Amino acid sequence: MEYSPNTDFLALALRQRRQKLANLINFPVLLWSGGKISRNYPANTFPFRASSHFLYFAGLPLENAVIYLKDGKLELFIDNAHPSKTLWQGETPKREEIANRIGADAAFPLSDLESRVRNAATIAVQDYSTLLQQSQLLDRPLPIAKSPNGIDLELTKAIISLRLTHDRAALAELRQATAVTVEAHKAGMAATSKAKNEAGIRAAMESKIITENMTFAYPSIVTTRGEILHNEHYHHPLQKGDLLLADVGAETAMGWAGDVTRTWPISGKFSPTQRAIYDVVLAAHDACIAKMLPGVEYVDIHLLAAQVIAEGLVDLGILQGQPDDLVEMDAHALFFVHGIGHLIGLDVHDMEDFGDLAGYQEGRVRSNRFGLNYLRLNRTLQPGMLVSIEPGFYQVSGILNSQKNRLKYQNVVNWDKLEQFADVRGIRIEDDVLITETGTEVLTANLPTHAEEIEQLVNGCGIEIK
């Protein structure tokens, strides 16, 4: 069935993306949205999340849908729900309605795919049963998305070049995701004095996100064990002297992500040692954002954070030596154990299903250096990129107590001094930074970073409960 063009904001934006893709490649493309994955019986499923590459060109989180893109045109393949499904799912939109919404040029049932499509480039999806369908229809094996070949590799590069910088429609979504993420963090701080355990704070934060009909861009990290970078346990009771690290991000219904971390004292007041380290991490955060500009290398922003952290730790007597030399020998990485951040977009680590093809500019590869190996993004900054800036300080027993590190860094760490900072397990401060033509716009700037302001929010001051 053929359609006349839909001219609303979403349909127009999607059409522009498809036209831009057509300008970059000269072969057709098939993208699958993927399907639900079952838990113990078919109708009990994990929450569905459409493939981000599908979402980028089709806009809606459709299940079991396929789009065929050629010369800027889109054909949608999707089945209408069987009438028996209405008992369980109610009425669902019909193919024609969906096609109109996303500005499709034509729409067909899935059974027409085989006769209408011969050869096309594609991106391997994550769910196995859809991956099998892709491979069967295209009649070729499909390696996972980070190792594409031939036209699939050309398509991957074209998609990366489009998704690296955000258009107006994407930014409208990202602004919503980041705004709700900010509110979730304020709610978490406000809930701290009454919460019994980490789960209580998580509930307050996620409730804010759910109330806005959004979901989570990744599993929430809400923990007093901030040194466990992706801790997903929430049972620890809250002790007065602990810090709480919350890394929580909202995802809009269309799939766009926010990603924010704050660290706050359970008691509402940082101890002197916690405050000293917090200010070092904040100095790194602020220095990085102040230096970001189109044309700047992201790896230099990472190294700047390393330098500021090394300087701060020397001032506190934890590290000994010249900060430049300490960074050169990766001594900062004993504490700042990961990279300064990553791309943000339809995924929280945007396009990392492509491995380093998206994060690393062509010709660049990950360093083997302890202090650089976890850097997920090594590109020149361009207007329209959204990246996280998330310096941190962690006391990870496996790193600090490894014999190799104890030996290598025996003269540059004052281990006795470090013991005085035992109440600092992990601190991270993370914001989402948009690169503009002239500098940056911090999309999450409405969430304070300064220690006193954080204390005020935890103590219930300055909060507007919405």
The H or E element containing residue 199 is helix 198-211
Contacts of 348 (CB under 8 A, 6+ apart): 217, 218, 249, 257, 259, 342
Residue 218's binding partner among Mn ion, ligand GLY, none (Cβ under 5 to 8 angstroms by kind) is ligand GLY
Which class for 278: exposed (0-12), middle (13-18), buried (19 or more C-beta within 10 A)? buried
- From residue 158 to residue 197, the character string flagging contacts with Mn ion as x (rule: CB under 5 A) and all else as - is ----------------------------------------
Q: Does 311 bind ligand GLY (CB under 6 A)?
A: no
Give all strands (DSSP E) within 290-436, no chain letters: 386-389, 392-394, 426-428, 431-435
Q: Does 347 bind ligand GLY (CB under 6 A)?
A: no
DSSP string, 399-410: HHT-HHHHHHTT
Cα dihedral: 409, 411, 412, 416 (round 10): 100
| Smallest gap from residue 386 Cβ to Mn ion (A) | 11
- The region of 70-78, 252-260, 376-384, 437-445 touching Mn ion under the rule CB under 5 A is 252-260
Residue 173's binding partner among ligand GLY, Mn ion, none (Cβ under 5 to 8 angstroms by kind) is none
Amino acid, res. 214? M
- The region of 266-274, 275-283, 383-391, 440-448 touching Mn ion under the rule CB under 5 A is 383-391
**Choice from 259, 330, 347, 431 touching Mn ion (CB under 5 A):** 259
- Distance CA(391)–CA(85), nearest Å, equals 49
| Smallest gap from residue 146 Cβ to ligand GLY (A) | 17
| CA 53 to chain CA centroid, nearest Å | 15
**Choice from 51, 181, 388, 449 touching Mn ion (CB under 5 A):** 388
Q: Does 218 bind ligand GLY (CB under 6 A)?
A: yes
- The region of 205-213, 384-392, 413-421, 439-447 touching Mn ion under the rule CB under 5 A is 384-392
For ligand GLY, the closer CB: 350 or 455: 350
According to DSSP H, which parts of 244-297 are helical?
A: 272-291
Tokens 């049963």 -> residue: 129
| Smallest gap from residue 74 Cβ to ligand GLY (A) | 32
For ligand GLY, the closer CB: 319 or 348: 348
Contact 248, 222 (CB under 8 A): yes
Contact 46, 39 (CB under 8 A): yes
| Smallest gap from residue 353 Cβ to Mn ion (A) | 16
Contact 156, 354 (CB under 8 A): yes
372-393 in b/e form (b: 16+ CB < 10 A) is bebbbbbbebeebbbbbbbbbb
Contact 247, 220 (CB under 8 A): yes
For Mn ion, the closer CB: 171 or 229: 229
Residue 360's binding partner among Mn ion, ligand GLY, none (Cβ under 5 to 8 angstroms by kind) is none
| Smallest gap from residue 407 Cβ to ligand GLY (A) | 30
For ligand GLY, the closer CB: 152 or 251: 251
| Smallest gap from residue 100 Cβ to ligand GLY (A) | 36
What DSSP character marks residue 111? G
| Smallest gap from residue 435 Cβ to ligand GLY (A) | 18
**Choice from 75, 198, 259, 432 touching ligand GLY (CB under 6 A):** 259
- The three-state secondary structure class of 386 is strand
Q: How many residues bind ligand GLY (CB under 6 A)?
A: 4
**Choice from 152, 247, 352, 431 touching ligand GLY (CB under 6 A):** 247
- Distance CA(305)–CA(381), nearest Å, equals 16
What DSSP character marks residue 84? G
| Smallest gap from residue 218 Cβ to ligand GLY (A) | 5
Q: How many residues bind Mn ion (CB under 5 A)?
A: 2
The residue ranges that bind Mn ion (CB under 5 A) are 259, 388
The residue ranges that bind ligand GLY (CB under 6 A) are 218, 247, 259, 348
